[in-house]
Amino acid sequence: MRVLDEFDPRELWRKVVAQAVRDALSTWKDVDSAHNRRTARAWFASNSEDFREVCEMAELNPAHVKESMKETILAQDEGEFTAIRERCGKQKRKEASVRSDRRGRIGAIYIMDGIEDTIPGWARRMNIPPYSIANRLNSGKQFEVAIKEAVEARKSGRLRGRPVSKR
């Protein structure tokens, strides 16, 4: 399961691309949907600066997205459309070296100030959500920096949601 950071700008840009995919593959017959479908298909077919910039901000390869959508749209028009997940699932995210596999961290012990604990344990100690620490570690930050930034974010009110219980 992927942990989403609501403050991660990549998620916004991925949602923009996802909406364009939905528009391009829409089968609704009304005038607005037909216009959105034509516009989205033209956007995917173009190699415009806007298209490349959105793909880069979403950390997607523009050439791969363009080719995948070209094949998908052609398959849909020919009535052979299967699923987007099968076609786009092969693409790897950029900077894989920065984002290590989370499964290697499950149960990992982190030491700070002579205290050993797991991410959930540190989250309870510091009264911050565990995903806040995990997301910062995924972005390549050191553990001490991740804890410090997460605590500062909690104090400044940038972390929303249900409060973490104090045990």
Q: pTM to 2 decimals?
A: 0.47
Question: Are 22 and 83 found together in one domain?
Answer: yes
Cβ pair 9, 57 in contact under 8 A: yes
What pLDDT digit, counting tens, does each position of 26-78 carry?
A: 888 888 989 999 999 999 999 899 998 998 888 889 999 999 899 888 888 88
Question: Are 74 and 133 found together in one domain?
Answer: no
Tell me the β-bridge partners of 112.
115
What's the residue count for the chain?
Answer: 167
Question: Are 67 and 25 found together in one domain?
Answer: yes
Q: Please state the domain count of the chain.
A: 2
Question: Are 22 and 76 found together in one domain?
Answer: yes
Residue 97 lies in a domain: no
What pLDDT digit, counting tens, does each position of 150-161 carry?
A: 888 888 776 555
pLDDT at 25 over 50: yes
Instruction: Enumerate residues 6+ apart whose C-beta is below 8 A from 107.
Output: 118
Place of tokens 């528009």: 23
What pLDDT digit, counting tens, does each position of 86-117 carry?
A: 545 454 554 444 444 444 555 678 888 888 88
Residue numbers of the domain that contains 110: 102-156
Question: Are 107 and 38 found together in one domain?
Answer: no
